[in-house]
Each structure stands twice: as structure tokens, then as C-alpha cells.
Amino acid sequence: MPLNLGESKAIGTRHGENRRGRRMNSRVPVRLEWDAAGGPRVSVEAHTRVVNPYGCMVVLEHSLELEHRVALTNLATDSSNAAVIVWKGNPRPDGWEYGVELVAPEMDFWGLEL
């Protein structure tokens, strides 16, 4: 089955193509933190590619599994929220694309009108 323009194959997804809220291309500096299996806490800074009131899409060099829980901090507003990996795209030269869903979203988490 051919893909539609703008659609990509994904390694995994929890919600299929169900989306909530309006998405906006936006480069917001973020920090993601999580506990590594049997190791120290990992802290990585990155930039979002897309945001919506319920989460974001970000690219990371690390390979994470679906349902992995992370702490997501918006470095522009210094606000943090628990989050979970809900989508993992194909590997890219700069890392993996991830869909990250906020566990308890605050409508002003991104500091943007969405």
C-alpha cells in the first residue's frame, strides 16, 4: 500500500493516528530525563520539532521503547511534566523521532498559543 505524501512508516505507536489538539511546528528547547536500566539517570537536551497542548515530537540519539516514562522540561519556561513515549519513528541520521505525551498536560506548558 503506497504511503500518502507526508505520511511515514513508524516503528511503533500506541495510539495509531489519533491526535488531540492543534499541532504547531516549533523549536522549543527541552530536557528529557529518565532512569537507565541498571544505570544512572540520563539527562539529554534537545529541541522539539512539533508541539501541541498534549505533547511534542523530538529527535534523540538514544533508543527508547514505547511506554518509557520520562521527565520533560521546557527550558524556555522552566516548567516540567511527567511524560511517556507514545510513538517511535524510523531512525534518522541525527537520531530517532519520538512522540512524547504529557501525563498531566498544562495548557500553557509550551508558552505558546495553541
The DSSP result for 35-96, as a single string, is: E-TTSPEEEEEEEEEEEETTEEEEEESS---TT-EEEEEETTTTEEEEEEEEEEEEEETTEE
Residue 41 lies in a domain: yes
pLDDT in 10s for each residue of the chain, 114 residues: 333 333 444 444 444 455 556 666 788 999 999 998 888 899 999 999 999 999 999 999 999 999 999 999 999 999 999 999 999 998 889 999 999 999 998 878 998 665
Which residues, other chains included, contact 17 with Cβ-Cβ below 8 Å and sequence gap of 6+? Answer: none
Residue 95 lies in a domain: yes
Can you give the residue range of the structural domain that contains 14? Answer: 10-102
Domain count across the chain: 1
Residue 3 lies in a domain: no
Decide if 95 contacts 86 (C-beta within 8 A). no
Residue 111 lies in a domain: no
The CATH number for 30's domain is: 2.40.10.220
